[in-house]
Structure 1
Amino acid sequence: MKIKIFLFAVLAIFLASCNTNHNHEIEEPHHDEVKIQLTAYSNEFELFAEADPFTVGQSSEILSHFSHLPSFKALESGSMTIRLIVNGKETRQTLEKPTRKGIYKFELKPETSGKGQLVFDIVTEKGNFQLTVPEVEVFADDHDAIHAGEDIVVSSTNATVFTKEQSWKIDFATAHPKTEPFGQVIRTTARVESAQGDETLISAKTNGIVKLSANNILEGKPVSNGQVLFSISGSELANNNSATRFSEAQNNYEKAKADYERLAELAKDKIVSEKELLNAKNQFENAKVIYDNLNKNFNPSGQNVASTMTGYVKQVFVQNGQYVEAGQPIVIISQNKTLLLRTEVQRKFAPILGTINSANIHTLHDNQTYSLEELNGKMVSVGRNTNSDNYLIPLSLQIDNKGTFVPGGFVELFLKTLTNAQALTIPNSALLEEQGNYFVFVQITPELFEKREVKTGATDGLKTEILQGLSQDERLVTTGAILVKLAQATGTLDAESGHNH
Structure 2
Amino acid sequence: MRLRPRYSIKYLLMVPIFAFGMAACGSHEGHSHGEEGHEHSEEGADHSHKHDHGDGAIVLEPEEAERLGVETDTVVPAPFAETLKVSGEVLPSSSDIGTVSAPTSGIVRIASGINPGSQVRAGQTIASVTAKNVTGGDANAAARVAMENAKRELDRITPLLADGLVTRKDYNDALSAYESAKAAYSPAAATGAATSPRSGVITAINVSDGEYVETGQSIANVASNSRLTLRALVPSSEAAFLGKVAGATMTFHGGESIDIAEHNGKLLSSAPASAGSTPGYIPVFFNFDGTAPVIPGSATEVYLKGAQRNDVISLPTDAIVEQMGETFVFIRSCAHSFEKRPVTLGNSDGKRVEIIKGVKPGEIAVVKGATFVRLAEQATVAPEGHSHNH
User: Under a length normalisation based on structure 1, what TM-score does the superposition of the two structures give?
Assistant: 0.56
Secondary structure (helix, strand or coil) at the match of 2:372 reads helix
Secondary structure (helix, strand or coil) at the match of 1:419 reads strand
Question: In the alignment, which residue of structure 2 is the partner of 1:85?
Answer: none
Equivalent-residue separation in structure 2 for 1:200 and 1:176 (angstroms): 50
- The one of the two structures with greater contact order (alpha-carbon pairs below 8 A, sep at least 6) is 2
**Any conservation in 1 of the 2:85–2:302 contact (CA below 8 Å)?**
yes
**Any conservation in 2 of the 1:192–1:342 contact (CA below 8 Å)?**
yes
The C-alpha deviation readout for 1:29-54, integer Å capped at 9, x for no partner, is xxxxxxxxxxxxxx89xxxxxxxxxx
Equivalent-residue separation in structure 1 for 2:175 and 2:355 (angstroms): 82
- Specify which of 178, 186, 199 is matched with residue 76 of structure 2: 178
Please tell me the residue identity of whatever aligns with 1:349.
Answer: E
Equivalent-residue separation in structure 1 for 2:162 and 2:311 (angstroms): 88
**Any conservation in 2 of the 1:191–1:411 contact (CA below 8 Å)?**
yes
Question: In the alignment, which residue of structure 1 is the partner of 2:31?
Answer: none
Normalized per residue, the structure richer in strand is 1
Secondary structure (helix, strand or coil) at the match of 1:202 reads strand
Question: In the alignment, which residue of structure 2 is the partner of 1:367?
Answer: 255
**Any conservation in 2 of the 1:156–1:448 contact (CA below 8 Å)?**
no
Question: Structure 1 pair 248/461, CA: closer, same or farther in 2 (3 Å)?
Answer: same
Pairing 1:263-282 to 2, within 5 Å after superposition: none
Question: In the alignment, which residue of structure 2 is the partner of 1:330?
Answer: 219
Secondary structure (helix, strand or coil) at the match of 1:169 reads helix
- Specify which of 157, 160, 178 is matched with residue 58 of structure 2: 160
Please tell me the residue identity of whatever aligns with 1:165.
Answer: E
Question: In the alignment, which residue of structure 1 is the partner of 2:306?
Answer: 417
Question: Structure 1 pair 323/395, CA: closer, same or farther in 2 (3 Å)?
Answer: same
**Any conservation in 2 of the 1:363–1:405 contact (CA below 8 Å)?**
no
Question: Structure 1 pair 353/455, CA: closer, same or farther in 2 (3 Å)?
Answer: same
Secondary structure (helix, strand or coil) at the match of 2:350 reads coil
Question: In the alignment, which residue of structure 1 is the partner of 2:36?
Answer: none
Equivalent-residue separation in structure 1 for 2:76 and 2:181 (angstroms): 72
Question: In the alignment, which residue of structure 1 is the partner of 2:114?
Answer: 218
Pairing 1:24-173 to 2, within 5 Å after superposition: 69-72=6-9, 156-173=54-71
- Specify which of 194, 202, 227 is matched with residue 100 of structure 2: 202
Question: In the alignment, which residue of structure 2 is the partner of 1:342?
Answer: 231
**Any conservation in 2 of the 1:352–1:417 contact (CA below 8 Å)?**
yes
Question: In the alignment, which residue of structure 2 is the partner of 1:190?
Answer: 88
Question: In the alignment, which residue of structure 1 is the partner of 2:345?
Answer: 456
Question: In the alignment, which residue of structure 2 is the partner of 1:3?
Answer: none
Please tell me the residue identity of whatever aligns with 1:458.
Answer: N
Residue 185 of structure 1, CA deviation: 0.6
Question: In the alignment, which residue of structure 2 is the partner of 1:294?
Answer: 185
The C-alpha deviation readout for 1:254-308, integer Å capped at 9, x for no partner, is 7689889999999xxxx98xxx79xx96995686266235244344xx5443322
**Any conservation in 2 of the 1:224–1:307 contact (CA below 8 Å)?**
yes
Question: In the alignment, which residue of structure 2 is the partner of 1:487?
Answer: 376
- Specify which of 247, 252, 266 is matched with residue 378 of structure 1: 266
Question: In the alignment, which residue of structure 1 is the partner of 2:124?
Answer: 227
Question: In the alignment, which residue of structure 1 is the partner of 2:28?
Answer: none
Question: Structure 1 pair 230/347, CA: closer, same or farther in 2 (3 Å)?
Answer: closer
Please tell me the residue identity of whatever aligns with 1:226.
Answer: G
Q: Runs of 5+ in structure 2 lacking a partner?
A: 12-21, 23-50
Equivalent-residue separation in structure 2 for 1:258 and 1:316 (angstroms): 48
Equivalent-residue separation in structure 1 for 2:368 and 2:109 (angstroms): 56
Equivalent-residue separation in structure 2 for 1:165 and 1:479 (angstroms): 16
**Any conservation in 1 of the 2:56–2:339 contact (CA below 8 Å)?**
yes
Equivalent-residue separation in structure 1 for 2:338 and 2:134 (angstroms): 80
Pairing 1:422-441 to 2, within 5 Å after superposition: 422-441=311-330
Equivalent-residue separation in structure 1 for 2:389 and 2:268 (angstroms): 60
Residue 251 of structure 1, CA deviation: 4.5
Question: In the alignment, which residue of structure 2 is the partner of 1:446?
Answer: 335
Secondary structure (helix, strand or coil) at the match of 1:157 reads coil
Equivalent-residue separation in structure 2 for 1:289 and 1:238 (angstroms): 25
Residue 359 of structure 1, CA deviation: 1.9
Equivalent-residue separation in structure 1 for 2:313 and 2:107 (angstroms): 66
Residue 314 of structure 1, CA deviation: 5.3
Residue 389 of structure 1, CA deviation: 6.0
The question of 1:358 aligning with 2:295 is answered no
The C-alpha deviation readout for 1:406-455, integer Å capped at 9, x for no partner, is 44332211111133544222222222233443322222222232222222
Question: Structure 1 pair 341/261, CA: closer, same or farther in 2 (3 Å)?
Answer: farther
Question: Structure 1 pair 157/196, CA: closer, same or farther in 2 (3 Å)?
Answer: same
Secondary structure (helix, strand or coil) at the match of 1:181 reads strand
Residue 222 of structure 1, CA deviation: 5.1
Larger Rg: 1
Question: Structure 1 pair 227/471, CA: closer, same or farther in 2 (3 Å)?
Answer: closer
| Number of positions where the alignment pairs a residue of Structure 1 with one of Structure 2 | 341
Please tell me the residue identity of whatever aligns with 2:306.
Answer: T
Identity of aligned residues (%): 25
Please tell me the residue identity of whatever aligns with 2:8.
Answer: S
**Any conservation in 2 of the 1:298–1:304 contact (CA below 8 Å)?**
yes
Please tell me the residue identity of whatever aligns with 2:270.
Answer: V
Question: In the alignment, which residue of structure 1 is the partner of 2:136?
Answer: 239
Please tell me the residue identity of whatever aligns with 1:177.
Answer: V
